[in-house]
Amino acid sequence: MHLTAHHIKRRLAWFQYPENSSVSKSCRHFGISRPCYYKWHKRYLKFGEDGFVDRSRKPHISRNETPREIVEKILYLRRNYHQGPTKIKMYLARYHGIKATTCTIWRILRKNGIGRLPMNMRYQRYPKRYIRYEKVNPGEQLQIDVKFLAPIEGQSRRYYQYTAVDHCTRMRILKKYQRNNQQSAIDFVDYVLSRLPFPIKMIQTDNGSEFQQEFHWHVTDKNIQHRYIRPRSPYLNGKVERSHRIDQEEFYSQLKGVVVSTAEDFNARLEKWERFYNYERPHGAMDGQTPYEKFRSKLQEGCNP
């Protein structure tokens, strides 16, 4: 701490006024207590005028300091999964039984030199905000879309991830295909209907070539309504589009450097990720519930899918 000549002179005067004066008289004259006098006199005798510098009042041990093992968990989730304070809070509570506020997590990140997420990983601000809504019952609407994947390392062939998301519970079904056409889309629909624990009333897709006439009639033949979103309006399929971003951030980014030798190995990893998403991963839009927990809560409410 910087100490001016005025402060040094003032404290030095405590021990020089007047000569042969008692400590009590000096304390009364300068308006200080005897403990204060003796504290600074002891420092003066030991360090000279350098002893008049104020020391830090920070305690050596803070009772409210976050334990180091919790700090390490917070930093691990941020560095490896690019999670923000709210999502880190959910993971700590669900998997470690640790209660931490978002403010505490944010301060820990800042203290360790970790600021905001990169621009490509943040929620984007748009001048026009769209109204977000949710279907009441599971199976009322299913959003289907295709994610184009980069070729597996060491292979030239590229793959396509077909994704179906229930509008109510966010339960997802994923499957990888080598071709993006109507035959793949039809096979995927049959696969989805055999996997979901509730019937589907309507399927919503974009206007891609894989969802045209053959696919449309296959869906309607199963007594399921098929609806196209407006052209150039991907936000109308917002839940499946957002889930693809989660796939990229939390699944595909973790495959970097991992050797995936065969397409079957790739599909096995994708199925494992699907199970984690549906049964273990807390969802921010559902107050930390997993999609399966949301489905169970709907059943308890008495909904009839």
pLDDT score of 153: 63
Residue among 137, 247, 134, 287 nearest 197 (CA) = 137
Measure the N-to-C terminal CA separation of the chain; round to a whole number of Å. Answer: 69
pLDDT tens digit string along 202-256?
999 999 999 999 999 999 999 999 999 999 888 899 999 999 999 988 888 887 7
Residue ranges of the chain with pLDDT lower than 70?
A: 1-4, 17-21, 61-62, 117-132, 151-156, 257-261, 304-305
- Taking alpha carbons only, the member of 141, 142, 146, 167 closest to residue 211 is 146
Which CATH architecture best describes the domain 142-300?
Answer: 2-Layer Sandwich (3.30)
Q: Which two tokens stand for residue 139?
A: 């199976």
Is 0.85 surpassed by the pTM of this model? no
Give the DSSP letter string of 93-134: HHHH-----HHHHHHHHHHTT--SPPGGGSPPP-SSPPPP--
pLDDT at 230: 92
Long-range pairs for 29-37 at CB < 8 Å and ≥24 separation? none
What is the per-residue pLDDT for 155?
A: 64
The pLDDT value recorded for residue 1 is: 47
Q: Pinpoint the alpha helices (H) of the chain.
A: 5-13, 23-30, 34-47, 68-81, 85-96, 102-111, 182-195, 213-221, 238-250, 263-279, 291-300
Query: What's the confidence (pLDDT) of residue 108?
Result: 92
